[in-house]
Structure 1
Amino acid sequence: MTSSKELPPFTSPFFPNLFIKNQFFTKPRFPPQSTNLSDKVAIVTGSNTGLGLECARQLLSHKLSRLIIAVRSSAKGEAAASSLRKQFPKSSIEVWQLDMSSYDSVQAFAARLDKELSRLDVAILNAGMGRAAFGTSPDTGHEENVQVNYLSTMLLSILLLPILKKKSPVGFPGRLTIVTSMLSITAKFAVKSEVPLLPAFDRADLFDPLDNYPTSKLLGQLFIWKLTDMVSADDVVVNLVEPGFVKGTELQRDIGGATRIILNLFKSISARSVKVGASTYMDAAIVKGKESHGCVIMNWTIAPYAPFQYTAEGKEIMKRLWEETLNEFKFIDVNSILGSLKTV
């Protein structure tokens, strides 16, 4: 099967062409009823509400033995876990604290996984942020959307790789699925020529409320393209999943006024349900195999990355972003971690 990196990029505009096809002319696919996750252990980040919670529910419906709900608010996580425990009393459901705006919290979470788990099969990184107003993380000083959607998600991905490699059963590679958005196709990425690149996102004068979220997801795609070249699919299968436009999530919870009214109306007409949206996570993390390593999965099918990544400029920016991000993560001795994952 052709990988995302080998596919030709999209030539049709995202709006309205791809959007209409995705939302109105694509049939949902759910895992086979025979899917059995007995004995498996999974974590889902941002799983106290919306897509993350529904994904947790779908994993448990296939007899998942142990689920870790990774959330910023332990109280909200326990409320979600309580409802799931009533529905799935035979499964072990735990709430672990994870604040994706904090590097310290991400490191502590990964260290706890490594210390306390004897097995880990699946990690689904769903936690995200879509704030329309500029703000910075108190812990890092970075712009919030880029911190959560890109920097902390990539840091957690790197930290999880050796854990998944070590703690998944022989012959059954661990699975790391990272939620993306094909709004990345629409990203203007206006700061791409800034040198250095990452500090440009922390400047309020360069913040674009309409473009920041798509660009933050594009950054993840640029990084994962290179990261997956360093990981064998025999050890960990890493892919990106695009759930589509989904109602019933809290991603745009900070949007108010007339914009919120218009958005909710648009959702009522065109958005997928959280059940359908979460089925894309299940497909990427449970159904798809090694052929999906390093791929973007959209509409339950392997799809190209954002067109920008296939251009000469995109490849140059990808290289620069990779180097700056590894330098950002030097506090974890990132080169040693990646060196342990090399495919050759």
Structure 2
Amino acid sequence: MVGSKDLPPSHTPFFPNVFFHNQFRAKPVWPSPNTTLSGKTAIVTGGNTGLGFEAASQLLGLKLSHLILAVRSLERGEAAATKLREQFPKANIEVWLLDMSDYDSIQAFARRVGSQLSRIDIVLLNAGVIRLDFHTIKSTGHEEHMQINYLSTMLLAVLLLPVLKTKRPPSGDPARLTIVSAALTLAAKFPERDANPILPAFDDPKRFDRQETYNSSKLLAHMFLWNLVDYVSADDVIINLADPAWCKGTELTRDVKGGMKVGVKLFGALTGRSKKVGASCFVDAIVNHGKESHGCFLMSWQIHPFAAFLYTKEGAVVTQRVWNETLAELEFAGVRGIIESMRA
């Protein structure tokens, strides 16, 4: 199998070329007509709006039997679930509380999955943020992009791995864990690479850059996955990353105001994918790609190489440092032991 690690590195001397191909030339790959998720259970984080809601709808359209919308606001989650129940009355649709800015909430959610679900087939980690200004999560002291897009997402992924392994389909097929990524990781400059330690450098407001901090927070997930898949068998859980490209009509840029908001809407109207097409990338990663996609980055409905930096000697050193620092940061939840246990 040829995965992202095995492909030639992704060199992007002129990122707009990548953007143009991703937005306008790549063609959607839809599930085959006989695809069915009947009898299966899926979790979608941030599933009450935007691409998460659309992905949930598409999974239900494939006859998914049980859906859990993991959301920060139960009220907004129930409003979204009501819409989905009207469209898919045969499905069991639940709303569970999950605050990705709160480590306690993440651990409580993972425990609930382990104790209340007899089966879990699919997890789509979709929740993420883009902020224009520097914000710190009070409970952890970390910058918000770093916290939500990286640390909290990796924590939840690791906590759910043993549950996915033990409660995967009775058929013996692997469970699926797809993490939402971004093509912008290929253009990330990652200036924090020279810091020692690396992760706390993101918490320095002087280093904050509204575009680069987001790009780098997503790149860190690629670096973590690079090592994680060495511990997780594709026979147990298939883990991959999926890029939806730039999409219009989502709430990811809800913090944009004034003239910039007008510009973003215009740019989205001219270049953005529809939510239906963007969310199809997640569904594609879940149902169209098998073990060959384990540990891979999927872009434009195809397995794509990682950013070139990860393939270099320096990249290998930095990737290992990020791995070690992340395990240390999340050791309060026993992530090191959980990851080691996945080898058994």
Q: With the length of structure 2 as denominator, give the TM-score of the two structures.
A: 0.98
What corresponds to 1:65 in structure 2? 65
What corresponds to 2:131 in structure 1? 131
What corresponds to 2:172 in structure 1? 171
2:106 alignment partner AA: V
Following superposition, the deviation at residue 10 of structure 1 comes to 1.9
Q: Which structure 2 residues correspond to residues 147-186 of structure 1 after superposition, within 5 A?
A: 147-169=147-169, 170-186=171-187
1:87 aligns with 2:90: no
Indicate if the aligned counterparts of 2:40 and 2:66 stay in contact, CA closer than 8 A: yes
1:257 alignment partner AA: G
Following superposition, the deviation at residue 307 of structure 1 comes to 1.4
Following superposition, the deviation at residue 210 of structure 1 comes to 2.0
Distance 1:230 1:211 in 2: 30
Following superposition, the deviation at residue 14 of structure 1 comes to 5.2
Indicate if the aligned counterparts of 1:177 and 1:239 stay in contact, CA closer than 8 A: yes
Indicate if the aligned counterparts of 1:57 and 1:84 stay in contact, CA closer than 8 A: yes
Q: Deviations over 1:108-141 (max 9, x none)?
A: 0000000000000000000000011101112211
| Secondary structure, counterpart of 1:63 in structure 2 | coil
Distance 2:314 2:11 in 1: 17
What corresponds to 1:145 in structure 2? 145
Distance 1:135 1:127 in 2: 17
Indicate if the aligned counterparts of 2:12 and 2:187 stay in contact, CA closer than 8 A: no
Indicate if the aligned counterparts of 2:155 and 2:335 stay in contact, CA closer than 8 A: no
Q: Which structure 2 residues correspond to residues 182-261 of structure 1 after superposition, within 5 A?
A: 182-261=183-262
1:159 alignment partner AA: L
Indicate if the aligned counterparts of 1:132 and 1:254 stay in contact, CA closer than 8 A: yes
Unaligned runs of 5+ in 1: none
Following superposition, the deviation at residue 229 of structure 1 comes to 1.2
Identical counterparts, % of pairs:
55
Following superposition, the deviation at residue 311 of structure 1 comes to 1.3
Unaligned runs of 5+ in 2: none
| Secondary structure, counterpart of 1:229 in structure 2 | coil
Indicate if the aligned counterparts of 2:178 and 2:282 stay in contact, CA closer than 8 A: yes
1:5 aligns with 2:1: no
| Secondary structure, counterpart of 1:230 in structure 2 | coil
Q: Deviations over 1:70-112 (max 9, x none)?
A: 0101100000000000100000000000000111111000000
Distance 2:290 2:211 in 1: 35
What corresponds to 1:319 in structure 2? 320
Q: With the length of structure 1 as denominator, give the TM-score of the two structures.
A: 0.98
Q: How many residues align?
A: 343
What corresponds to 1:307 in structure 2? 308
Give the ranges of 4+ consecutive aligned residues of structure 1 lying more than 4 Å apart after TM superposition.
Answer: none
Indicate if the aligned counterparts of 2:101 and 2:137 stay in contact, CA closer than 8 A: yes
Cα RMSD, aligned residues only: 1.0
Q: Deviations over 1:131-174 (max 9, x none)?
A: 11101112211101110000000000101110100001242110
What corresponds to 2:342 in structure 1? 341
